[in-house]
Amino acid sequence: MTFKDRRDAAAVLAAKLKEIYGREFSKEKPLILAIPRGGVVTGDEIAARLGADLDVVVSKKIGAPDNPELAIGAVMHDGSFFPNTDIIAALGVGEDYIKQQISEKMKEIERRLGRFRGSREYNLAGRTVVLVDDGIATGATVFAAINWLKEQRLKKLIVAMPVGPADTVQRLKQLVSDVVVLSAPVVFMAVGAFYEDFEQVSDDEVVEIMSKYRARE
């Protein structure tokens, strides 16, 4: 399955969510919670089609010392760290390196929260939350967000992604109320391989999208 771009994938995903949760979503407005930056474009399309609210949650990947693209874990805005223990053990990554990276990533998280939503405070208790991104690979940022969200006394937590590897999807299903994924192949190379257009999303684009929802508030 290949999508034209993030909005094309999100339109299909929104239709799937409506098919599964139509009546439930019509009774209570779910919160679409997007992981920046690409996930905000996905979340905007889904929120518009479901008549839902949109917000962002920021988690940052921590890369391996000699391979920044290889996630050894991810950190949330409250400093909570989700470790990829297998990779940390295999590479022998030290605690000092992890602490230093957490400190650096926290600065970027604070910057993004300030620019994208103006606050680091959340009030999610009792809400149905749909956590979205434009795709998932190793899933460190998503798993970090899930761990944090499970402490927020939600009514229900749903993860919705256009694409993700089968083994990661199975792990997600053990943690949340439901997982909605359009394509979950066993052989998975990269999220961008499922898109004809997978250009990087800028901070300005995220700010423009989120300003619509902040204006409603």
Residues sharing a CB contact under 8 Å with residue 8, sequence separation 6 or more, in sequence order: none
**Strand-pair category, 67-76 with 59-64:** antiparallel
Question: By percentage, how much of the chain surpasses pLDDT 90?
Answer: 88
pLDDT tens per residue across span 35-57: 999 999 999 999 999 999 999 99
pLDDT tens per residue across span 158-185: 999 999 999 999 999 999 999 999 999 9
Mean pLDDT, the chain, integer: 94
pLDDT tens per residue across span 136-164: 988 899 999 999 999 999 999 999 999 99
pLDDT value at 215 more than 80:
no
Rounded to 5 degrees, what angle do the CA atoms 179, 133, 9 make?
A: 85
pLDDT at 189: 87
